A and B are shown apart, each in its own frame.
Chain A
């Protein structure tokens, strides 16, 4: 591979990293919490422009096969950038109000985004691992950013402990694959496995370690124990960021590793993912019903949503992958939007209990309406993005003769109605004790509007996005020819 000119294929990542340094410097030199935020936002927009100008539509593998630039990576990069931008928007007021050091906060968000972009943008296990570590280390610190809050510290500590173990597990799984196949490149691993059937037990063990390690990041049951505490205790914008982007990155890496690297083991991992999907959605939904705290409820709902998305990983057809991508995009919009409303409420009611949502329809009518639509979308009621996400997954499952799995998904959607709708009921039917209107900072308003627009556009006109996601291939032509 020629090295010349390949640097510009990493332009988005470079821009983000540079922006991070600028943000940090700005944070150290100004007292304003706004300036670093605005700079971070500009950095993300610049990186987005970089994606659009330099790498969109390009398929190339550079630097001895350690970095892969293709449609799959680019789509995920866009998702991460959008989530990053929305996270910055919802953080603006939050950071200032809670005395979080702005420079550090935003550089960590930007670095976590860079890490995720590498997780999606490589076919090399080492690069994927480095991306994962970059994301993880940034998110551990982000989770503990509320230094005076015991809950935040607890969240951070729990996240570090579980995260470190899961990183170790991932690394161990990768080492087993490396030992068996003699390469860290997924394409070469696939080729080696194809010719060397005797290594099967080691490979299965390696595969299981990878499932467990990435399962932690996806918050799939039974690897989800950290999720409620971390999503509840960490700063709300961080929770929104982790719940959407970090989960999406884990799915991106898993798609590459299992579909490109381990197609020979597909019968094994399909079974594993089906089991994980079914228990994740069921446990997530049933536990969510019992929650009284909004953020814990959203955490368990995230577990359930991860279960839905995992159906796509289990089916693993082209159609299923497109469906997963669609779902991840939809999920990002509706979840960050919902968090914008939670953050707005948290300004007056820091406990963020579901009963604090009483009378929100009177106090902040637009936000209440937006949250209603996000929750309907999370249930999967048309015409919202969530419906088509589920619809495409169901379609893929039925096409793969997994109709029963599709039925389990539908039953789970019905189980999820009470707890999602419970919030709507609280907002509209119950009268608030505190009737004062909730004024919304501009950042939150924009985040809610963008989330709402995304949720509705994906729900009313899904075709444009479907065209993009169905053109994406996990294993692009470039190296399929090399087989």
Chain B
């Protein structure tokens, strides 16, 4: 019941919101914010109820839905999905709050935001492939509209590219799901049953693995399927960018943990070197590309590609430590990237009206508090110890080192240095230097309310990474054992 409420309350809110008069802007915003806060309360209740010392699925809700095809309405949560749900429950209301600056077609915007929330919670809790796929697709349409209607100057191009890439990827994944259903002969779409019992021929397992890979690789995104991301992130309105980077990318990496690794362990192991190389390319390429940007939002977008590379590397190495690290990066990046997008695309942009680094300087002097938040976010993103960005990368590297020694050294040498480089260079150009132009108002109360919870969590996880590790340690151990890792 709790999970059903979590998933469908935002949708219910969206339906109610449809009846609001179009011009009652503040009522619409307030209602959307309140509705998005309900899942946060539910997540707090979940945290109380779940027992993280056991690895299996908990709070399973199951109802027959389409019995003739073995489709059921099945939701559940475990230590792998819960942290992502928790991050979503934190980031989604904040992104609604960050979107208060939207003035055009306000009602529609918040309506789509609420629909999107249902899709996101659904993706993270669905335990039936059919149900999962519906949510996975359903997350695409609202995001398409959010980018396409409320985006920047190149919104048409960016939204279409985003749509084509992800829809094509998920269409191929749907073929994979159907092949899994028809090939397993179990007549069920149940994720857990298929993971345990599907007896697929090695060839078929390979093909299905690749079909799933197409769907999730686009979402993550893994190099070379990443080119939609810079466009989409840059053109999306701030709230959209926060959700895209903070949560939607994680639906891709979540797919690896929930579906691909447990269901196709053999194919995954055989594929692991390719995955590792793609992960490393993502880390280095993303960092180098970020360094080359003059647009701050684009810099953050490329840094997302780079960070997702760590997750992929950790997944590819398949040791308990590397998998834990990958999960941790999922969580930390889910907190840091929304903060970074928020300060860059909203706080700074709304004041300077530019995102070009060469057009602004001396923000420390002009808007000291906002600039400090920016510096905080940048340091967190580059992986400064004591903040959430550090433990994940550390675990990933340490866990992957025994498996892919050369690659890890390469990534550490090039990736880490470059990552530190572009962040520091960005801060030097934007925050320091001679202040120019008229005086600007400093960060507002609403903006502080958006930034503070994220900052608190980032510091908390940086100092006490155990808070998050405790959640997914057990299921990761089981997963690693299944993969035959060390």
In angstroms, Cα B175 to Cα A429, docked, is 29
B149 near A383 with CB under 8 A, answer: no
Residue A434 interfacial (CB < 8 Å): no
A355 CB-CB contact with B under 8 Å: no
Interface residues of B in 81-102 (CB under 8 A from A): none
Measured CA separation A421–B65 after assembly (Å): 29
Residues B171 and A463 in contact, CB atoms below 8 Å apart: no
Within 8 A of B (CB), among A388-410: 391, 394-395, 398, 407, 410
Of all chain B residues, which has the CB nearest A392?
Answer: B69
Known: A382-B133, A383-B134. A395 touches B182 (CB 8 A): yes
**Distance A461 CA – B64 CA, assembled complex (angstroms):** 11
* Stretch with Cβ within 8 A of A (4 or more), from B52-60, B156-164, B244-252: B156-164
Instruction: Tell whether, in the assembled complex, residue A398 and residue B163 are in contact, meaning their CB atoms are under 8 Å apart.
Output: no
Whether A394 contacts B68 in the complex (CB less than 8 A), given A382-B130, A414-B171, A429-B149, comes out as: no
For the complex, what is the distance from the CA of A383 to the CA of B149, rounded to whole Å? 25
A329 and B295 CA atoms in complex are apart in Å by 52
Check A428–B67 contact: CB distance below 8 A: no
Additional A-B contacts beyond A421-B163, A429-B149, A467-B68 (5; CB < 8 A): A382-B133, A417-B164, A461-B65, A463-B67, A463-B68
Distance in angstroms between the alpha carbons of A26 and B67 in the assembled complex: 49
Instruction: Say if the beta carbon of B167 comes within 8 Å of chain A.
Output: yes
Within the assembled complex, what's the spacing in Å between the Cα atoms of A329 and B278?
A: 46
Bound-state CA distance A463–B137 (Å) is: 22
Q: Is the CB–CB distance between A428 and B149 below 8 Å?
A: yes
Which residues from chain A contact B159 at a C-beta distance below 8 Å? Answer: 429
Task: Decide yes or no whether B27 CB sits under 8 A from chain A.
Answer: no
Known: A391-B178, A410-B175, A417-B167. A381 touches B137 (CB 8 A): yes
- Whether B148 is near chain A, meaning CB under 8 Å from some CB there, is yes
Q: Mark B124-148, 1 if CB is under 8 A from A, else 0.
A: 0000001001100100000001001
B385–chain A nearest beta-carbon distance, Å: 45
Cβ-defined contact, B168 with A425, below 8 A: no
**12 pairs, CB–CB < 8 Å, chain A vs chain B:** A382-B133, A391-B178, A394-B178, A395-B182, A398-B182, A407-B175, A425-B160, A428-B148, A429-B156, A461-B65, A461-B66, A467-B68
| Residues on A with beta carbons closer than 8 Å to the beta carbon of B447 | none
- A466 interface residue per 8 A CB criterion: yes
Chain A residue numbers with a CB within 8 Å of B68 are 462-463, 466-467
Which residues 436-483 of A sit at the B interface, judged by CB distance below 8 A?
A: 461-463, 466-467
Looking at the complex, which one of B66, B134, B148 makes contact with A463 (CB distance below 8 Å)? Answer: B66
Complex Cα gap A40–B130 (Å): 42
Contact A428 B145 (CB under 8 A): yes
- Write the B112-134 contact mask toward A (1 if CB under 8 angstroms, else 0): 00000000000000000010011
Assembly CA distance A95 to B484 (angstroms)? 71
**Complex Cα distance A425/B137, Å?**
16
Interfacial residues, chain B to chain A (CB-CB below 8 A): 65-69, 105, 108, 130, 133-134, 137, 145, 148-149, 155-156, 159-160, 163-164, 167-168, 171, 175, 178, 182
**Main DSSP-derived SS at the B contact region:** helix
Contact B171 A425 (CB under 8 A): no
**Central interface residue in A394, A410, A429, by most chain B CB within 10 Å:** A429
* Binary interface encoding of chain A residues 325-346 relative to chain B, with 1 for a CB under 8 A from any of its CBs, else 0: 0000000000000000000000
Asked if A301 is an interface residue, CB under 8 A from chain B, the answer is no
Q: Which residue of A lies closest to B133 (CB)?
A: A382
Q: How many residues of A contact B (CB 8 A)?
A: 23
Find the B residue at minimum CB distance from A372: B141
Q: Which residues of A contact B155 (CB under 8 A)?
A: 429
Q: Interface code A312-323, partner B: CB below 8 Å = 1, 0 otherwise?
A: 000000000000
Tell me the bound Cα distance from A226 to B171 in angstroms: 33
Cα A7 to Cα B145 in complex, Å, equals: 57
Cβ-neighbour of A462 out of B66, B133, B167, B175 (below 8 A): B66
Is A167 an interface position by the 8 A CB rule? no
How many whole Å from B311's CB to the nearest CB in chain A? 28
Nearest residue (CB) in A for B140 is A381
Q: Report if A413 contacts B (CB, 8 A).
A: yes
Question: Per-position contact with B for A36-60: 1 when CB-CB < 8 Å, else 0?
Answer: 0000000000000000000000000
A382 adjacent to B171 (CB under 8 Å)? no
Give the chain B neighbours of A381 by CB distance below 8 A: 137
* A361 CB–B CB distance under 8 Å: yes
Interface centre among A391, A428, A461, A462 (most CB of B within 10 A): A428
Residue of chain A at shortest CB distance from B151: A429
The residue among B108, B134, B156 with the most chain A CB atoms within 10 A of its own CB is B134
Contact A425 B148 (CB under 8 A): yes
A437 to chain B, nearest CB (A): 11
Bound together, the chains give a CA A253 to CA B156 distance in angstroms of: 46
Q: Which residues of A contact B163 (CB under 8 A)?
A: 421
Q: How far is the CA of A429 from the CA of B105 in the complex (A)?
A: 11
Q: In the complex, how many angstroms separate the beta carbon of A479 from the nearest chain B beta carbon?
A: 29
A463 and B66 CA atoms in complex are apart in Å by 6
Question: Chain B's nearest CB lies how many Å from the CB of A421?
Answer: 7
Q: Is the CB of A361 within 8 A of B67?
A: no
Q: Which of A262-287 contact B (CB under 8 A)?
A: none
For residue B182, which residues in chain A have a CB less than 8 angstroms away from its CB? 395, 398
